[in-house]
A and B are shown apart, each in its own frame.
Chain A
Amino acid sequence: MVVFLLMILVQSLNCTELFDIKGNQVQIKSLGDKYFVVFHSGLSCKDCYISLGKVIDDLEEKKPTYLVTNYSDNVYMRKTIEEMTSNLMNYKQLLFIKKNKTCLTFQESLEKDMSPSMIYVSGDRIISFKFNELFKEGYSESSIKELIINKLKIK
């Protein structure tokens, strides 16, 4: 099951169309070899973004973080998301994902899962962190950190 999910994520990431705030397409390769992708589909839990951001900043091995959300044709929407999220957590760049039939599975997981959820990309290796996993009842920054470190096996 886990292997299947990872396959979907790898496949989805490869066929994903990403754009920057100006609407210019961004090549996935340009994101680097190792990075975090935090998925945003709403701000119903602002504290979750704050806690997750602090934990990522606090990791010994620094990796860039990209915040990914759904693409909107409306510049106002894109700018609003940037202005509302930039003070919640540090990220290198806000990226927008465009609806693409070949990437429906990835798209659905972004829309259905509560946000923030996250993946860690290291070359061809992708490790996913579901919302419910990161933000269990009574979660704390240390519980999030422990989970991330255990899954990444980095200290």
Chain B
Amino acid sequence: MKYIFLFVFFTCSVNAQNVLQDYFSSSEMILLPQTFYPAHYIQLKFKNDTIVALNRKIIEIDSTLLIEIFRNNHIDTVKLARKLDSIKYNAILDFDFIGTDLLLLSSYEIQFYKKSRNYYEHYKTLEFPYLCTQIMVFDSTIICNAFYPTMGNRNDSTICKTIAINTITYEEKLYEYYNPKGLQFINLQPRKIMDANKSKILLSSITKYEIIVYNQGNPIDTLSRVSNFWKQGTSSERPDKDILGDRVPQRNYSGMMDNQDKKSLMSNVSFQGDYIVASWTYPDSIKSKIKYFDVWKMEDNKYFPYLVDMVEIDGFKDLEAKFNPNNFNNGLYYCFNDSCIATVVNLSLPITKQFDEKTNKEVKEINDDNVLENKLRYNLLVRKIKW
């Protein structure tokens, strides 16, 4: 009897896997403007609990370069400071606000914009010698994170840096970190391995489950755990050495693509209030990767595993099931605030009450027809988190 009980208990434990979407509720769908396309040009950020979407695609009208910002169902236009010489369509990398002023991060500089009546107008540019790809503003500090290897920093001892800029004096402080393992896989996007929360920075390895939390440049905690759903690669599978100083081929994508199909890679690490959310891919079979999520909770300034190995299910897989926006996968990019997660989803129609009674199959058919007949559009999905 005892063995039967143990067998049943074991079987139930194995099958009862945590599903990420079970922790989401009360979703809100907002149809993005038609100009917000394609999805990888859309950058999301919560500001004062409002979700803001930046369309990084640059529009040229009468020699003026414009980009758009969407929030509260309203589009604001930004007149870009000057013609950007770098890759035109990827020139703006991230954004944030100081009060009502807009900050655009463009490779090696921050451009400051003030809201006038109809446009955001440029008033200042701050340059620095590092390729930063993230910008965040906390109180009176601008945080810019750099973790992208370029030809220019091949000989640097470390690529991962934070520039902290005082918003009043513009005084800069530079913090440097050890290069995380598998940094060459940053070329396979989307991938987010750095995040900031006030004075704290987290930096994750890609080929190893190892997230280091820094405060003012000093390591204060290391998040590491063994998961049954983390598949560690062997050294023979690595196309390049993990040390960037040994020159990583810039465009050895085919080797990396083969490689990423064989092992787990960390894909996104983010602060979420007192939590850290980490997600990684598990190579189930060739070309099919399952995404897992862990939530770490802070107690007494240390982080502990709180929810582990949550699997992200394909919300549309069961075609006969009733359509429920909570079940959507997180898209290519997602962001958090203290209580919500926002992502861009492949739905091209405004979601109204008429969808309440429909099945996934019916919604998919309506959506596919709409996509084929019209320009692509996306919905912004904001879900409450209940962990």
Partner-B contacts on A (CB < 8 A): 21-22, 42, 44, 74-76, 79-80, 83-84, 111-112, 114
A-B contact pairs, 28 of them (CB 8 A): A21-B372, A22-B372, A42-B253, A44-B251, A44-B253, A74-B346, A75-B367, A75-B368, A75-B371, A75-B372, A76-B346, A76-B376, A79-B371, A79-B372, A79-B376, A80-B38, A80-B39, A80-B376, A83-B37, A83-B38, A83-B375, A83-B376, A84-B38, A111-B254, A111-B257, A112-B254, A114-B251, A114-B254
Nearest B residue to A81 by beta-carbon distance?
Answer: B38
- Least CB distance from B349 to A in Å reads 13
CA distance A111 to B38 in the complex (A): 23
Q: Cβ of A111: which chain B residues have Cβ within 8 Å of it?
A: 254, 257
Contact with A along B234-266 (1 / 0, CB 8 A): 000000000000000001011001000000000
State the majority secondary structure of interface residues on A: helix
Contact with A along B346-387 (1 / 0, CB 8 A): 100000000000000000000110011001100000000000
Question: How big is the B interface, by class?
Answer: 10 to 19
A88 CB to closest chain B CB, in angstroms? 12
Q: Which 5 A-B pairs have the closest CB atoms?
A: A76-B346, A75-B368, A75-B371, A80-B38, A112-B254
Given contacts A22-B372, A75-B367, A79-B372, 6 further A-B contacts (CB under 8 A): A21-B372, A76-B376, A80-B39, A111-B257, A114-B251, A114-B254
B368 / chain A contacts, CB cutoff of 8 Å: 75
Q: Is the interface of B mostly helix, strand, loop or mixed?
A: helix
* Binary contact track B332-350/A, C-beta < 8 Å → 1, others 0: 0000000000000010000
Q: Which residues of B approach A to under 8 Å, CB–CB?
A: 37-39, 251, 253-254, 257, 346, 367-368, 371-372, 375-376
Q: Which residue of B lies closest to A84 (CB)?
A: B38
- Closest residue of B by beta carbon distance from A80: B38
Which residue of chain B is the closest to A45 with respect to CB atoms?
B251
Do the beta carbons of A76 and B254 come within 8 Å of each other?
no
A134 to chain B, nearest CB (A): 16
Nearest CB of chain A from residue B330's CB, rounded to whole Å: 15
Alpha-carbon distance between A74 and B254 when the two chains are bound, in angstroms: 23
For B37, list chain A residues within 8 Å (CB).
Answer: 83
A residues within 8 A CB of B372?
Answer: 21-22, 75, 79
How far apart are B364's CB and chain A's nearest CB, in angstroms?
9
Q: Closest chain B residue to A42 by CB distance? A: B253
**Complex Cα gap A86–B375 (Å):** 13
A83 contacts across to B, CB distance below 8 A? 37-38, 375-376
* B38 contact set on A, CB distance < 8 A: 80, 83-84
Counting chain B CB atoms within 10 Å of each CB, the highest count among A76, A84, A111 belongs to A76
> How far apart are the CA atoms of A75 and B251 in the complex, in Å?
28
Chain B residues whose C-beta falls within 8 Å of the C-beta of A74 in the assembled complex: 346
**Complex Cα–Cα for A42 and B254 (A):** 11
Task: Tell me the smallest distance from the CB of A71 to a CB of chain B, in Å.
Answer: 12
A35 to chain B, nearest CB (A): 24
Complex Cα gap A42–B251 (Å): 12
